[in-house]
Structure 1
């Protein structure tokens, strides 16, 4: 079963790089959609925390809901930078892709996810939603909390976040029954939200909404967080999930050209 998951991940990495090289518009569309999905789900997450702020159940219910975002991305086959940290680490160490292809795909996917986050934030702004939410909305408080940390804290929380997220993705590769996959993704993702780790793509949405709304963070604050959460996410997905599982379940594959 583990070897089957390795083959799925390696094959997926190959298909992703092939799509980017042969049909970049379609690849960029998939990455933009993933950023959009995660941003709208992230806004609902912060809204649930706001609505249930006075109860002890707010963080629990909101964190349980956020797994819907990753589930949508997995089931719609859209492109998320953080899960691709794991996929491309497996495919490149399996010889299905090379590291230059990996870097190009990571950059393209990251930028596509950012565009998607900005699109949803702009839609919420255009709809008047950001003007309607109160100044004490948790999206604003969350953005401040994420940016007012040390670089070290953000970096290591980034590692922890994508370690957990990619574990959820990995479990979805192993499990076959759809409800089991959905349940596992939601339960595992719950951990990183509830513990307050740093997911760069989810943060893009939070920061975009805060910057377009009435939040107090600056663009520099947002870039500071992303500068340290992003490499942390790469390490968490590639080094703590992709490479260890590839090592534990070796499958010989032909070398990429």
Structure 2
């Protein structure tokens, strides 16, 4: 396939997502809820690894490598993740297969579905006693506090970088013909944003909800402060740094 073919593939994916939301909104909602659930259980496991492996030299490396499992699950189960959809719908709108109003509506629907999915998993973890078992000095609580106490500017730019990398992982996976290649690409690329400590709004939903449900020090206003600016940054990273350049550098071939 030519590079142009991958643009068309991404545009068709954006169109299909919009049509699913329009024609079968409940099915689309379930897909977005599932993405939030998958990512939140991955987030919880990530923080457990960070806490339990903190004394190891490669502890953070191992935990960061694991996080790509969440995006892999989402890609392989056709779940709907807000951050990757910032790329897909930008490409489909740039190609004229969807419009920008439809794009905004889908982003909002997906974002809310992801949030609801995150809250479902947090409720399950709480019911299972997994959250109440966390020590007061757990890495998750420290991580959540660090995230919310950054300035708006820092969160915004970290959000741009996070989703630029996430969407790059998805964009590269489009080129992979074998499933094992997709898995390796996604895990290795996603590793970068976790290891560097960038801000992914949907992953943060799970982190903050767990902290709020447990013994964390953050408040609801703190959580929304981070989510506002990390979400805006994620939109810029996925749309302006990946989606639009992806379509622009691979124009329609003219004969």
Question: Partners of 1:5 and 1:114 in 2: how far apart?
Answer: 30
What do the CA deviations read for 1:45-92 (whole angstroms, capped 9, x no partner)? Answer: 000011111122111000000000000000101000000000000000
- 1:81 matched residue in structure 2: 82
Give the alignment's Cα RMSD to 1 decimal: 0.8
> Normalising by structure 1, what TM-score?
0.97
- 1:148 matched residue in structure 2: 149
The SS at the match of 2:56 is coil
Contact 1:210–1:216 (8 Å) recurs in 2: yes
Contact 1:94–1:251 (8 Å) recurs in 2: no
Question: Partners of 2:41 and 2:197 in 1: how far apart?
Answer: 18
User: How far off is 1:239 after superposition?
Assistant: 0.5
State how 1:129-208 maps to structure 2 within 5 Å: 129-208=130-209
Question: Partners of 1:16 and 1:245 in 2: how far apart?
Answer: 19
User: How far off is 1:104 after superposition?
Assistant: 0.2
Structure 1 spans left out of the alignment, 5+ residues: 253-257
- 2:37 matched residue in structure 1: 36
State how 1:84-123 maps to structure 2 within 5 Å: 84-123=85-124
| Moved beyond 6 Å, runs of 4+ | none
The SS at the match of 1:130 is coil
Question: Partners of 2:73 and 2:12 in 1: how far apart?
Answer: 21
User: How far off is 1:251 after superposition?
Assistant: 3.0
Question: Partners of 1:218 and 1:169 in 2: how far apart?
Answer: 33
User: How far off is 1:3 after superposition?
Assistant: 1.2
User: How far off is 1:249 after superposition?
Assistant: 0.8
Q: Does 2:222 match 1:221?
A: yes
User: Which stretch shifts more, 136-145 or 109-118?
Assistant: 136-145
Question: Partners of 1:100 and 1:251 in 2: how far apart?
Answer: 24
The SS at the match of 1:78 is coil
- 2:73 matched residue in structure 1: 72
Contact 1:168–1:185 (8 Å) recurs in 2: yes
Question: Partners of 1:174 and 1:249 in 2: how far apart?
Answer: 14
Aligned length: 252
Question: Partners of 1:56 and 1:156 in 2: how far apart?
Answer: 28
User: How far off is 1:225 after superposition?
Assistant: 0.2
Question: Partners of 2:148 and 2:194 in 1: how far apart?
Answer: 16
> Normalising by structure 2, what TM-score?
0.97
- 1:46 matched residue in structure 2: 47
Contact 1:80–1:113 (8 Å) recurs in 2: yes
Contact 1:6–1:251 (8 Å) recurs in 2: no
Question: Partners of 1:98 and 1:169 in 2: how far apart?
Answer: 22
Contact 1:36–1:113 (8 Å) recurs in 2: yes
Q: Does 2:66 match 1:60?
A: no
Question: Partners of 1:169 and 1:113 in 2: how far apart?
Answer: 18
Question: Partners of 2:237 and 2:134 in 1: how far apart?
Answer: 34
